[in-house]
Amino acid sequence: MQTKKASASCATGCPSHGKAFSAADAEVFARVEDMIDLTLKVLERDLPAPEFEKKRAKISGKRTKDYPRVPVMLAVCMQRRPPPPAKVMPEWEEQCAVACAVQNLWLTATALGAAGYWSSWTAEARDSAEMASFLGLGPGDRCLGFFLLGIAKPGAAEAYRATRGAIEAKVDWRLEEV
């Protein structure tokens, strides 16, 4: 509970712009189940049958094995604020602001010993009108995936971590040699 609150309060400390999180923890796990049902319905409608079958199998596996072990699942959403005709921020800035908020949350959670994972979710379901209605999104708002927060088994998070290249390969230094 402490990790959850600390992470959420750090997330609100990110740079400006619209952010919205909606938390579904163990008490409201039924909402996650509803969201997965909705996802499968949209995929069945929008994907060719063989592709749907592949995704259904993958999602169903995670549904029984993984999601019940996740105590907190956040819908990461971008709110378009303020509504026109007031000055509207460029959408990319609002998306970046949300990502900064998620990073704050992620760093705080990691520092407190929890593990985080950002899932883009399946694009067809994530961007659907059904998902927007389920999450209560307004016109122009966007779902940017789901953030899963929990306690990993010792060593599990490290084994899952992506490898990072050297900083020299990513930064083009334009400084004079001193």
Ligand X SMILES: Cc1cc2nc3c(=O)[nH]c(=O)nc-3n(C[C@H](O)[C@H](O)[C@H](O)COP(=O)(O)O)c2cc1C
Min CB(48)–ligand X separation in Å:
21
Asked if 67 touches ligand X (CB under 6 A), the answer is no
Asked if 120 touches ligand X (CB under 6 A), the answer is yes
DSSP letters spanning 85-120: TSPPPPHHHHHHHHHHHHHHHHHHHHHTT-EEEEE-
Beta-sheet strand order (sheet of 115-119): 20-25, 72-78, 142-150, 115-119
Stretch that binds ligand X, among 6-14, 27-35, 51-59, 160-168 (CB under 6 A): 160-168
Q: Of residues 29, 38, 118, 124, which one binds ligand X by CB under 6 A?
A: 118
* Rounded distance between C-alpha atoms, residue 31 and residue 106, angstroms: 23
Q: Which is nearer to ligand X, 153 or 161 (CB)?
A: 161
Asked if 145 touches ligand X (CB under 6 A), the answer is yes
Asked if 175 touches ligand X (CB under 6 A), the answer is no
Q: Of residues 161, 174, 175, 176, which one binds ligand X by CB under 6 A?
A: 161
Asked if 133 touches ligand X (CB under 6 A), the answer is no
Stretch that binds ligand X, among 7-15, 64-72, 155-163, 167-175 (CB under 6 A): 155-163
DSSP letters spanning 109-152: HHHTT-EEEEE---HHHHTSHHHHHHHT--TT-EEEEEEEEE-P
Instruction: Give the binding site for ligand X (CB under 6 A).
Output: 117-120, 145, 160-162
